Structure 1
Amino acid sequence: MNDHMPYMTKLRFPQGLPTRQQVLDFIAQSDEPAGKREMAKAFGLKGTEKIALKALLKDMADEGLIDGNRSAFHAMGGVPKVTVLRIVEIDEGEPVAVPDSWQPDDASPPPRIRVIEPRGKQRDRNAALRVGDRVLARTEEAGNGWIAHPMKKLQGGEEQMMGVVELDGAGKGWLAPVDKRVRNAVPISDLGGAEKGQLVLAEPAGRSPRSGMKVVAVLGDPLAPRAFSLIAIHKHGIPFVFPEGAVTEAEVAAKLPLSEDTREDLRHLPIVAIDPADARDHDDAIWAEPDGEDGFKALVAIADVSYYVRPGGETDREARKRGNSVYFPDRVVPMLPEVLSADVCSLKSGADRAAMACHLTIDSSGHIRDWRFTRAVVRIAEVIAYEEAQRRIDAAGSHHPPTPSFEEEGEQALKAPSSLEEGVGGGGGANDGGGGAKTVSIQVLQNLWSAWRLLEKARHARDPLNLDLPERRVVLNSEGKIAEIAIRERLDAHKLIEEYMIAANVAALHMGADYVKANLAPLGLRARRADKVGDRIYVEGNMAAGLGAVYGGATVCAWYPITPSTSLAEAFTEFCGDYRTDPATGKARYAIVQAEDEIASIGMVVGA
């Protein structure tokens, strides 16, 4: 009997399929990783009992009782040696995390774990952790607390849901989704500190639908101004999280070298980017100089995104999902990972950038006489806001100093008046993050304006359709609330950029046509100029309908959704401003309402 005592002591668990509590007791008392094999051996399970144990462990994981995988399980309430953590705070530059899944029996709060980020070269390969990030980490005790070493940054949950917390009569939490396509509230199993009425981001608490949702981020007041963009992102399904593979691919691509052996070196030209003052990235820039024959040589440089994003790659697939970057008053959801969209694919001043360059030869009548396209390396001399560029040209007035030779211009291009010596000076420029970039000489801008006037002259001769529609921008105050919805002032600087972009696109069209003629069989297509419209009005259908509504006596317009809007409502708004405003008092005699849903908009119109 004594010979068998060690064996009996080692077993010490009742034989047969264990209960949930017995599984938790075994995990708590185990000195080794507690996997299915160890449990089956300890409880003496065989055959179908092992299958039943596997199903039991899966149910317990779905219910949040245990956390683990095929090789080792851990009781919730302790901190596993390897687990998923969620960053909840950045304390003096150091991330602080809590276990991503925390449901202890004693209702104790989750431990706050200090995250030790990698340093040196390994740190350079990984983006800094931010609040809301999830990481797979190795944990260890340190004094009276815990520290964690990240092993892998995890992708944000694709099944996340945004909604407002509601409490029923029993105090149970429910998530009312902001997406009206989800008709029913969803039970919340873990409020994560959220309170009734708060806007939250939640994700499934387990693999089973019975697990409910757990709150992973508390966003605050759902009526706060900055909450609207978050709601719009989730309501319209705008992808805002990049998979780890796409981010890693982009980070590797961002380090690709730029070689003068394979690209035309244009860094000696004083190329400038003219953009909105609040632009977050810059994808085009221009340059021009007289050609000595009453015409101009001009250049349009476009950020060469194709150098960094290759067809079929993960970054390319993610970009196809998005189609474009989405701009909100308080944030931008980029089409590409930020290391590309806001850095190497943005034409920042003073930095070498890959670009597609369109070289144009403009004659004295404003016609494009020659063009060529190259891949190039450019270094933007300055990024200037539209308003600042216009201010400098207006300040120069009609005074046009003698046009310098190319060599003289190269010396003068980066010499600025003393009042504008550093940065963007006297009026501010677009936010390019360049920091300390020199301002270009006024001659650089005057050359651009002179070339534009030739292009504009040819444009007027063509008598094209010109829809000069107003652009509106949302202005936020210091508290993030909407201060006004203002119409952007239409400047010559805006028209200048538009004309250069049109010229480059027309050149690309001609290049494509030349290629077809040289390499493909005749297509049998012929374009001819149609008769001019004469005294008839040539107008787009929705604009005509908007004008007809005004002449028909309409005075109220209510519509949904707000975004995307409809050109019919925009046309009606524009014509009301012209024909429904009291000329004596300037008072509006119309109402424009963007409703919160379809029923509200119908009710407003019926009531009117």
Structure 2
Amino acid sequence: MTKKKAPLPTMEDIVSFLNENPGKVGKKEIARAFNIRGDDRIKLKEMLSEMKRSGQIEKSGLRGKKIIAADGLPELCPCEITGTDSDGELVARPINQSGDAPSPQILITDLGKLRPPPKEGDKVLLKLSAAGKRLFYGAVVRKITAEPNKIVGIFDTTSGKGGRILSADRRLHLEYYVDAAQSKNAKNGDLVLAETASGFSKSKKAKIIEVLGNVKDPKSASLIALHLHGIPTAFTDAALKQAAKAKMPSIANRTDLRDVPLVTIDGEDARDFDDAVFAEPDDDPKNEGGWKLLVAIADVAWFVRPFDALDKCARERGNSVYFPDRVVPMLPEELSGDLCSLKPGEDRACLAVRIKINKNGKILKHKFMRALMRSAARLNYHEVQDVFDGKMPEMNEALKRHLTDFYGAYLALAKAREKRGALEIDAPEREIELNDKGSVSKISVRERLESHRAVEEFMIAANVAAAETLEEKNVPALFRIHEAPSAEKVAALQTFLETLGFKTVKRAKPETADFNKILEQAEGTPKNFMINELVLRTQSQARYSPENVGHFGLALQKYAHFTSPIRRYADLVVHRGIIRALKLGEGGLSDEDGSLNDDFEDLGEHVSATERRADAAERDAEERYLSAYLADRIGERFKATVNGVSRFGLFVVIDDVRAEGLVPVSTLPGDYYVYEEDKHRLFGSSTGKTYELGERVDVILAEAQPVTGGLLFHLLDAGIKKPPKQNVKKYKNQKKHKGAPKNFKGKHKKRK
């Protein structure tokens, strides 16, 4: 007897089934559950395709074999920590998400028993609960790793037998106990690296595996950052031996550029020189007013071949990491500081590109070549700026003429930048100067010169040429992509700016020109710094990907990092792609060694993560140096700006050295404060007193912790504006909470 054919389920039936079995089913399981056979399987496939197009379902899991209801995730979901939000809360993304759908936002609200807390790049199993459209709250179940947790802290022997470790991570407020036999002979006050027991041990015991030095040593600031973020510091023996044997290639099969007066232009404290530039007017009568540029970059691909010992170390690191007192290079010193550094007067192998532009900076054509060059001079930005300004320092006359041409070519490139509307965010950088003992002697805002912009525009032109070449030749590559900000972020920014009287443009897809108009309105006003910060926070994060979607911030359709292969692995991969694409000899991507078939998507995610790791480590070290610099100024009064508002307090930036610290909500005077996220303010529920983003305040430095990099301030002034009584009244019926808002979590967490 033939079984009766089951009716096809409705779309609602399928969605219900998916919600009952989140993350566990694919097409086969759906067909089996609804007894769908034969030709009806084709109809089911068509129905699922229609549901995916209409946004009712999306693919999930490894290779997209599973199906989930849209906006849904399995209750237990493996996730990767991607950073922190504007309030300092950890955020994550699903590890196995696939397809084109944007990642849902996952806010980690409960760390459970996991100590130390996870950091960017860590993988954790989260128990999720839906909090809104594509928004989930996550509770940590466990860390996904078989390795023991490592902590960095100060060893304290004053507690008796053995000792204890006080964490150097300001997110932790725990002590770890160390038996005398596992103390590694550490002394009181030593900075140590230790392992904690796996799992959820209640004893909080640790074993010291390395004594890093004394915490009072100024170098401890960068040491702590290195180990907290897991920055690799040692090269393998095989890599060091390979670097020691490296030799400069001959001129054979290379273009001879040794007579071209290429120069390197870097900061006074630069530690490696991987790019050199030259420009001259184009003598082609068809390109009147145009320029010929030459950008030469160290030929790292000659020395570091895919999957060799040096490559494995460079790939693991992803990039060099720079601290005020040291650099952790991507490549050993023999290469980064010598053979791959374009030192003046010495022959160096390079991968160079000639670029022809018109008088308006438009790239007309370009040609890459492998070459041998000899830098004519090692210049710094101030020397070049003096030439731009007509001060003409003591310098070779021919070199001055070349720099004048360099300036002319830059002005043409600047026209092209302005025409396409690249983002012009003003984000000043700090400059930390150390004395002979390694302590901070001076902190200032790094000067932004036109010579900086000139070098940047030459590098951008070379990067565009690289991306165009790789796309034209259809060679696998890592593009530097920057997606447009999400509609939600743009809408939130516009809503807030309109409350300040700023004019905004509403459109379906944001354009860089819209943001530049906002920045122009803010220029010269007291809120300029704050508005630039807000616009920057609204942007998505640039990353590396084999899928080219363009660079929103630079307003470019094709862009790849080509100009820094000494310190960025992505650039080395781009060099290898160009070498293959143009048949420029050895060291390119190859079928033979498998590098042509590398997993570029995985590689892009890896180098993006190592870049974020390096940024976080550099920022942490800076904050520790700032805290050490301010430690003897406790009780001093500072002018400051509220740079962030959260449930747990105000983040303020002091004018003096642009250091950021927290004013805990519990220290705010005489009221219960409600966090109004859309208005970026804390609102006093009884008095109506408010503290809001961009407000100018007077603060007293209450605490400086050089070990953790934390700064705490207390307000001297008493907030601004008191709203009408009806606005105050709406908070009267809220249950009051002493000292801090009901949703206050943790102590003195720092926004990243």
| TM-score, length basis structure 2 | 0.43
Please state whether the residue corresponding to 2:368 is helix, strand or coil: strand
Give the corresponding residue for 1:302.
297
Tell me the alpha carbon deviations over residues 312-342 of structure 1, each in whole angstroms, 9 at most, x when there is no partner: 1121111121111111110111111121111
Q: Do 2:704 and 2:710's aligned partners in 1 also have CA atoms closer than 8 Å?
A: no
Q: CA deviation at 1:472?
A: 1.8
Give the corresponding residue for 1:337.
332
Give the corresponding residue for 1:557.
651
What amino acid sits opposite 1:513 in the alignment? E
Please point out which of 238, 244, 258 is paired with 1:245: 238
Q: Separation in 1 of the partners of 2:436 and 2:709?
A: 29
Q: How do 1:155-234 residues align onto structure 2 when only pairs under 5 Å count?
A: 163-167=153-157, 172=162, 178=168, 184-189=176-181, 195-200=187-192, 219-220=213-214, 222-234=215-227
Q: Do 1:175 and 1:187's aligned partners in 2 also have CA atoms closer than 8 Å?
A: no
Please state whether the residue corresponding to 1:347 is helix, strand or coil: coil
Worse overlay, 179-188 or 369-378? 179-188
Please point out which of 473, 492, 496 is paired with 2:454: 496
Give the corresponding residue for 1:209.
none
Please state whether the residue corresponding to 1:258 is helix, strand or coil: coil
Q: CA deviation at 1:502?
A: 1.0
Q: How do 1:441-460 residues align onto structure 2 when only pairs under 5 Å count?
A: 441-460=399-418
What amino acid sits opposite 1:556 in the alignment? L
What amino acid sits opposite 1:250 in the alignment? A
What amino acid sits opposite 1:456 in the alignment? A
Give the corresponding residue for 2:256.
265
Give the corresponding residue for 1:473.
431
Q: Separation in 2 of the partners of 1:469 and 1:500?
A: 21
Change in Cα spacing, 1:161 to 1:466, as seen in structure 2 (3 Å) is closer
Q: Do 1:577 and 1:588's aligned partners in 2 also have CA atoms closer than 8 Å?
A: no
Q: CA deviation at 1:497?
A: 0.7
Q: CA deviation at 1:184?
A: 2.7
What amino acid sits opposite 1:196 in the alignment? N
What amino acid sits opposite 1:300 in the alignment? V
Give the corresponding residue for 2:78.
none
**Are residue 393 (structure 1) and residue 388 (structure 2) matched?**
yes
Give the corresponding residue for 1:320.
315
Q: How do 1:481-560 residues align onto structure 2 when only pairs under 5 Å count?
A: 481-516=439-474, 543-544=534-535, 556-557=650-651
Q: Separation in 2 of the partners of 1:580 and 1:503?
A: 40
Structure 2 unaligned blocks of 5 or more: 1-147, 197-205, 476-507, 520-530, 539-640, 662-679, 681-690, 713-744
Please point out which of 273, 276, 287 is paired with 2:267: 276
Q: Separation in 1 of the partners of 2:370 and 2:692?
A: 47
**Are residue 464 (structure 1) and residue 393 (structure 2) matched?**
no
Q: Do 1:173 and 1:189's aligned partners in 2 also have CA atoms closer than 8 Å?
A: no
Q: CA deviation at 1:271?
A: 0.5
Q: CA deviation at 1:268?
A: 0.7
Change in Cα spacing, 1:563 to 1:551, as seen in structure 2 (3 Å) is closer
Q: CA deviation at 1:448?
A: 0.5
Q: Separation in 2 of the partners of 1:163 and 1:552?
A: 28
Q: Separation in 2 of the partners of 1:192 and 1:535?
A: 58
Please state whether the residue corresponding to 1:185 is helix, strand or coil: strand
Q: Do 1:558 and 1:602's aligned partners in 2 also have CA atoms closer than 8 Å?
A: no
Give the corresponding residue for 1:376.
371
What amino acid sits opposite 1:350 in the alignment? G
Q: CA deviation at 1:223?
A: 3.4
Q: CA deviation at 1:455?
A: 1.2
What amino acid sits opposite 1:356 in the alignment? L
Q: Separation in 1 of the partners of 2:150 and 2:228?
A: 12
| TM-score, length basis structure 1 | 0.52
Tell me the alpha carbon deviations over residues 62-97 of structure 1, each in whole angstroms, 9 at most, x when there is no partner: xxxxxxxxxxxxxxxxxxxxxxxxxxxxxxxxxxxx
Q: CA deviation at 1:454?
A: 1.2
Q: How do 1:128-167 residues align onto structure 2 when only pairs under 5 Å count?
A: 163-167=153-157
Q: CA deviation at 1:294?
A: 2.5
Q: CA deviation at 1:442?
A: 0.8
Q: Separation in 1 of the partners of 2:321 and 2:250?
A: 32
Tell me the alpha carbon deviations over residues 276-327 of structure 1, each in whole angstroms, 9 at most, x when there is no partner: 1111111111001112242221101111111111111121111121111111
Q: Do 2:644 and 2:693's aligned partners in 1 also have CA atoms closer than 8 Å?
A: no
What amino acid sits opposite 1:238 in the alignment? I
Q: Separation in 2 of the partners of 1:333 and 1:195?
A: 27
Q: Do 1:291 and 1:297's aligned partners in 2 also have CA atoms closer than 8 Å?
A: yes
Give the corresponding residue for 2:742.
none
Please state whether the residue corresponding to 1:237 is helix, strand or coil: coil
Tell me the alpha carbon deviations over residues 38-69 of structure 1, each in whole angstroms, 9 at most, x when there is no partner: xxxxxxxxxxxxxxxxxxxxxxxxxxxxxxxx
Worse overlay, 383-392 or 372-381? 383-392
Please state whether the residue corresponding to 1:392 is helix, strand or coil: helix
Please state whether the residue corresponding to 2:457 is helix, strand or coil: helix
Change in Cα spacing, 1:464 to 1:261, as seen in structure 2 (3 Å) is same
Q: Separation in 1 of the partners of 2:511 and 2:387?
A: 39
Tell me the alpha carbon deviations over residues 442-491 of structure 1, each in whole angstroms, 9 at most, x when there is no partner: 11211100111111122222233222321222222333222343211111
Q: What is the count of residue pairs matched by the alignment?
A: 375
What amino acid sits opposite 1:393 in the alignment? F
What amino acid sits opposite 1:557 in the alignment? F
Tell me the alpha carbon deviations over residues 19-51 of structure 1, each in whole angstroms, 9 at most, x when there is no partner: xxxxxxxxxxxxxxxxxxxxxxxxxxxxxxxxx
Please point out which of 349, 353, 357 is paired with 2:348: 353
What amino acid sits opposite 1:219 in the alignment? G
Q: Separation in 1 of the partners of 2:209 and 2:388?
A: 54
Please point out which of 291, 299, 304 is paired with 2:282: 291
What amino acid sits opposite 1:187 in the alignment? D
What amino acid sits opposite 2:228 in the alignment? K
- Superposition RMSD in Å: 4.7
Change in Cα spacing, 1:363 to 1:227, as seen in structure 2 (3 Å) is same
Give the corresponding residue for 1:146.
none
Change in Cα spacing, 1:591 to 1:286, as seen in structure 2 (3 Å) is farther
Please state whether the residue corresponding to 1:184 is helix, strand or coil: strand
Q: Separation in 1 of the partners of 2:701 and 2:749?
A: 10
Q: Do 1:175 and 1:186's aligned partners in 2 also have CA atoms closer than 8 Å?
A: yes
Change in Cα spacing, 1:168 to 1:460, as seen in structure 2 (3 Å) is closer
Q: CA deviation at 1:597?
A: 8.3
